[in-house]
Structure formats: structure tokens, C-alpha cells
Amino acid sequence: MPKASTEDIERLVNDLDADAESSLNYLFLTVSACAIATMGLLSNSTAVIIGAMIIAPLMMPLRGLALAALEGNFQMVSKSLTTVGIGTLVAVVMAWMVGRIVGLPASEFGREILSRTQPNLADLGVAIAAGAVSGFAKIRPQISDALAGTAISVALMPPLCVVGITLSQGSWSQSGGAFLLYFTNLLGITLACMLVFAWGGYYLKPSRMRWALRGALFMTSLLVIPLFASLWLLLKRVELQSTIRELLETQTITVGRQTELIDMDVNWNLLSNQPPEVILTVQARESVTPKQVGEVEAFLYSKLKQRFKLLFRVSEFREVQSGEFEETSASPQPRSQTNPN
């Protein structure tokens, strides 16, 4: 791709310098997006969270930070970092306040919150892809800027709100995981924007551009090892969950023959010393006894060398046919006797 002209570079610098301002508009959008995302997270509503994603205020200073780093414009770097810091602080404090008011205990957190407390390498990939879309949209006005903003907000505002919510309930480990996700995505988005701007020729001095890219790549690479480890653990849990289901259905009488397994879920209890809890939703003609549950737990331990706590949710299994209703409805009704006159 040919290098951008000096006029194009100046135009982009002016646009992104204005976006890097910590203005009233930026603060209003940040508060609005945080309020919507926090309520969506607390209510475990994906649709409401998507509403916060559309606003996407944190995208504006990040692109300014990316271009300023390439240009060596330290004044713009400082302005962009200050704006990002203010938005981060406002979002965390506001989410913390809402979390304290609502008072949802950590044990009742839904999937929308929990899924953002365990980042992995896939999240970094999403952030880099979203950042590339955003940067390309800025140098190619034909692409909708709102579309890029939506992609970025997927990676930024919701985990930032999770930091505040989990802090409000004293769940430090979950807060740390959510902040790691936020920081990972922030670096990934900034790096991707820098790569796109460099590819588009939006830099003045090649030496500064190369040093800036090396620094961003180095900082992002520091996160690869913990994120890869988290992804590996996630894949191992999925594999283990599949193994548990297969063992229960094929090698136990309680689950494989006496009941019909409808659904299975595993609560890994990552924040406590309790063994993982396997929740089994089954249909059965007869009740499942505590002795049977204990025997199945012992069987799993003998096979996997790991303790699991089983919880059976049993519903009655009944077969109803239409013929029974027809037979009942066709039976003659007793006639009322009348007294002779």
C-alpha cells in the first residue's frame, strides 16, 4: 500500500487528536454505556449488553494513542492515555456503585459476568481483529465507523463493568481476571490500529514507527503465556466434561439405564477449595437415592482420580397416550334417577 501523503497524515492526526479529548460528550457516552452494560450484566441479558456496545466511547482515544505512538507525538500520547484513564476510572466506579446498590452476591453471578473473568488467548485474537477493523475504517471513510465502534466495544466496556461489579462484592480474583481481559483487549486493539496505520503509510519517520511497533508487540507478547495457559485449561475442562458425560451414560446403571440424562453442567468452583459440582438433569421412573449418588461419585473418582460432587435434578418420567383419554371419555355416565309421580 502506498505511503499516505503529508496532507492525509495531518488530516488523520487532527481527527484523532479531537477524538482523544476528554470532552463532555466523551464522559456522557462513557456514563451511558457503563450504565447500560452494568444493568445488562447484572440481569444476565445479552440484548441489553449489546445496547452498550453500540455506544463504544473508549474506541476514540485508543486510535489517537495508536497514531500518536507511531508519530512519536508524546503530547497526544499523554492526552489519549489521560482520556482512557478517566473513562476507565469512571466506568469502574460507576459499576461498583450500581453493584453495591443492587447487592447481587458473587454466588449468583450469571454467565455474562463469569465469562468475562477468565480471559484466554482467543480474547486477544478478537481484540486484534476488532482493532484492525477500527483502524481501517478510520483511513477508509467508506467503511462505517459505527460498525468498527461496535466491534471494539465488545472487548472493552463489558469487562470494565465486570471489574466494578465484582469489586463491589469483594471478589478480588474475579476482578483481576476481568481487568486482565480489559487490559489484554486494550493492548490488542491499540497494536492492531498501529499495524493498520503503519501499513497505510500514516507515519513521518520510519525509525519511530518501527520502535513504536516493537514496543507494542513486546508488551502484548508478555500476555501470551498466561492467556495461552488459560485457554489450555479451558480446553482441558471441556474435554473432561465430555469424558464425564460419556462415563456416566455408558458405564453406570444410575445414569445410563435407570434414568435418561437430559442435560449436564459443571460448576468448577474455581474460587474455592470445594470439588467441582456436576449438575445432572435426568428423567426417571423411580427416585435416585443418596446411596446411588455416592456410588457414582466413587466410580468417577476411580476413573478420573479427581473428586466430583454430584447433584441430581430428577423429574418424573410418565407416558400418556391419547387412547386413555378416549377410553375415559367414552365410558357411560351414570343416569340420574327420577322419582315417579
The mean pLDDT value for 136-157 works out to 69
Are 283 and 317 in contact, with CB atoms under 8 Å apart? yes
If asked whether residues 250 and 122 sit together in one domain, one would say no
If asked whether residues 291 and 246 sit together in one domain, one would say yes
The mean pLDDT value for 47-76 works out to 87
Domain count, the chain: 2
pLDDT score, position 1: 60
pLDDT at 112 over 50: yes
Structural domain contains residue 328: no
Structural domain contains residue 327: no
Q: What percent of the chain has pLDDT over 90?
A: 44
If asked whether residues 198 and 295 sit together in one domain, one would say no
pLDDT at 157 over 70: yes
Residue predicted with more confidence, 60 or 43: 43
Structural domain contains residue 110: yes
If asked whether residues 40 and 189 sit together in one domain, one would say yes
pLDDT at 153 over 60: no
If asked whether residues 176 and 32 sit together in one domain, one would say yes
pLDDT at 143 over 90: no
Q: Name the DSSP class of 34.
A: H
- Binning pLDDT at 50, 70 and 90, where does residue 340 land? very low
Model confidence over 215-250: pLDDT tens digits? 999 999 999 999 998 899 889 989 999 999 999 888
Task: Tell which residue, 166, 138, 162, has the closest CA to residue 151.
Answer: 138
If asked whether residues 66 and 200 sit together in one domain, one would say yes
- Binning pLDDT at 50, 70 and 90, where does residue 330 land? very low
Structural domain contains residue 324: no
pLDDT score, position 336: 45
pLDDT score, position 218: 93
Domain that holds residue 280: 237-317
The mean pLDDT value for 253-281 works out to 82
Task: Tell which residue, 236, 199, 206, 9, has the closest CA to residue 120.
Answer: 236
User: What sign for the dihedral angle of Cα 206, 207, 208, 214?
Assistant: positive
Angle 77-80-86 (CA atoms, 0-180°, nearest 5)? 135
Structural domain contains residue 33: yes
CATH number at residue 272: 3.30.70.1350
- Binning pLDDT at 50, 70 and 90, where does residue 152 land? low
Nearest-Å Rg of the Cα atoms of the chain is: 28
Cα gap 13→79, rounded to integer Å: 13
Model confidence over 274-297: pLDDT tens digits? 889 899 888 887 788 899 899 999
pLDDT at 145 over 60: no
If asked whether residues 195 and 309 sit together in one domain, one would say no
If asked whether residues 204 and 251 sit together in one domain, one would say no
Picking from 6-20, 135-149, 211-225, 284-298, which range would have the lowest pLDDT averaged per residue?
Answer: 135-149
pLDDT at 170 over 80: yes
Dihedrals phi, psi of 270, to nearest 5 degrees: -65, -25
pLDDT at 254 over 80: no
pLDDT score, position 252: 84
Are 297 and 310 in contact, with CB atoms under 8 Å apart? yes
Q: Which pTM was predicted?
A: 0.78
Residues listed for the chain: 341
pLDDT score, position 274: 83
If asked whether residues 274 and 309 sit together in one domain, one would say yes
pLDDT score, position 167: 96
If asked whether residues 62 and 196 sit together in one domain, one would say yes
- Binning pLDDT at 50, 70 and 90, where does residue 301 land? very high
Task: Tell which residue, 164, 151, 175, has the closest CA to residue 62.
Answer: 151
Picking from 58-72, 282-296, 322-336, which range would have the lowest pLDDT averaged per residue?
Answer: 322-336
CATH number at residue 168: 1.20.1080
Structural domain contains residue 229: no
Structural domain contains residue 39: yes
Picking from 77-91, 95-109, 143-157, 201-215, which range would have the lowest pLDDT averaged per residue?
Answer: 143-157
Mean pLDDT estimate for the chain: 85
If asked whether residues 217 and 241 sit together in one domain, one would say no
Dihedrals phi, psi of 261, to nearest 5 degrees: -75, 120
Cα gap 163→116, rounded to integer Å: 9
- When mean pLDDT is compared over 33-37, 264-268, 337-341, the highest value belongs to 33-37
If asked whether residues 204 and 56 sit together in one domain, one would say yes
In 140-223, which residue ranges form alpha helices assigned H by DSSP?
145-155, 157-168, 172-199, 206-221
Structural domain contains residue 276: yes
pLDDT score, position 38: 95
- Binning pLDDT at 50, 70 and 90, where does residue 133 land? confident
Cα gap 336→231, rounded to integer Å: 76
- When mean pLDDT is compared over 118-132, 161-175, 263-277, the highest value belongs to 161-175
